[in-house]
Chain A
Amino acid sequence: GDSVTQTEGQVTVSESKSLIINCTYSATSIGYPNLFWYVRYPGEGLQLLLKVITAGQKGSSRGFEATYNKEATSFHLQKASVQESDSAVYYCALGLNSGTYQRFGTGTKLQVVP
């Protein structure tokens, strides 16, 4: 079926170091996948970080970027230099053009330490 996989439940990174959070997807239904990264800061609702709806394109926001890799069915989130304020839970999501809702991964909790 259609699904999103995030393999890391929690990641700890030192401030100013680089980050990669993995996301792979499976889209077996008819329709083209649209890919999203959402972020949830403590006490808040999920909010969109970035989205890409065309294969091969890169999305970026707040220093984060992710490339829609159709061949590898991946949409990994990267940042060159993290800050303590980036500590949050990051969710990868998939929306199919043939569907009416988005599917979410299990989320990756990022902890940035000094």
Chain B
Amino acid sequence: GPKVLQIPSHQIIDMGQMVTLNCDPVSNHLYFYWYKQILGQQMEFLVNFYNGKVMEKSKLFKDQFSVERPDGSYFTLKIQPTALEDSAVYFCASSFRESSAETLYFGSGTRLTVL
């Protein structure tokens, strides 16, 4: 079936540095999402993105976070600067339509460790 690729699968970074997580969504999908999961906890919605703009973001999407998809390439999540509490697995997802009743397609996640 359709695949979402996330690069890298693991990232270790020092607190205060910048990190960019990359997502290659399903090719004809129009809606893109980032979720965050801390070990043992729920996978929490961060942000969604459509037509070059953020549609909705949660309170977890701090000012240090940003998303973009320049020229239809990777959908990226940038954190600048990173903090210890940003350590988590970040999942990217995409869908063809807005997701309330639509199937989401997920990547296998990027495990971010902030030291």
**A and B contact pairs by CB, cutoff 8 A, 26 listed:** A9-B40, A31-B100, A34-B101, A38-B106, A45-B3, A45-B107, A45-B108, A45-B109, A46-B91, A47-B1, A91-B43, A95-B99, A95-B100, A95-B101, A96-B100, A98-B100, A99-B56, A100-B55, A101-B45, A101-B100, A102-B45, A102-B100, A104-B42, A104-B44, A105-B42, A106-B42
Which of A46, A51, A105 is in CB contact (< 8 Å) with B106? A46
Whether B100 contacts A34 by the Cβ 8 Å rule is yes
> What number of A residues sit within 8 Å (CB to CB) of B?
28
B75 within 8 A of A: no
Q: Mark B24-54, 1 if CB is under 8 A from A, else 0.
A: 0000000001010000111111001000000
B: residues with CB less than 8 A from A are 1, 3-4, 6, 33, 35, 40-45, 48, 55-56, 91, 93, 98-109
Chain A residues with Cβ under 8 A from B107's Cβ? 45
Please report which residues of chain A, range 79-101, place their CB below 8 angstroms from some CB of chain B when the two chains form the complex.
Answer: 91, 95-101
Tell me which of B1, B4, B35, B43 has the highest count of chain A C-beta atoms within 10 A of its own C-beta: B43
Q: Is the Cβ of A102 less than 8 Å from the Cβ of B99?
A: yes
Does A56 count as interface, using CB distance less than 8 angstroms?
no
Which of A43, A45, A53, A106 has the most B CB atoms < 10 Å from its CB? Answer: A45
B99 touches A101 (CB 8 A): yes
Bound complex: CA of A34 vs CA of B100, how far in Å?
A: 7
Assess whether A44 is interfacial by the CB under 8 Å rule. yes
The answer to whether residues A51 and B109 also contact, given A101-B48, A106-B42 and a CB cut-off of 8 A, is no
In-complex Cβ contact of B56 among A31, A45, A100, A103 (8 A): A100
**B43 → A minimal CB distance (Å):** 4
Digitize A17-40: 1 where CB-to-B-CB distance is under 8 Å, 0 elsewhere: 000000000000001001010101
Contact check, B56 vs A53: say whether CB atoms are below 8 A apart. Answer: no
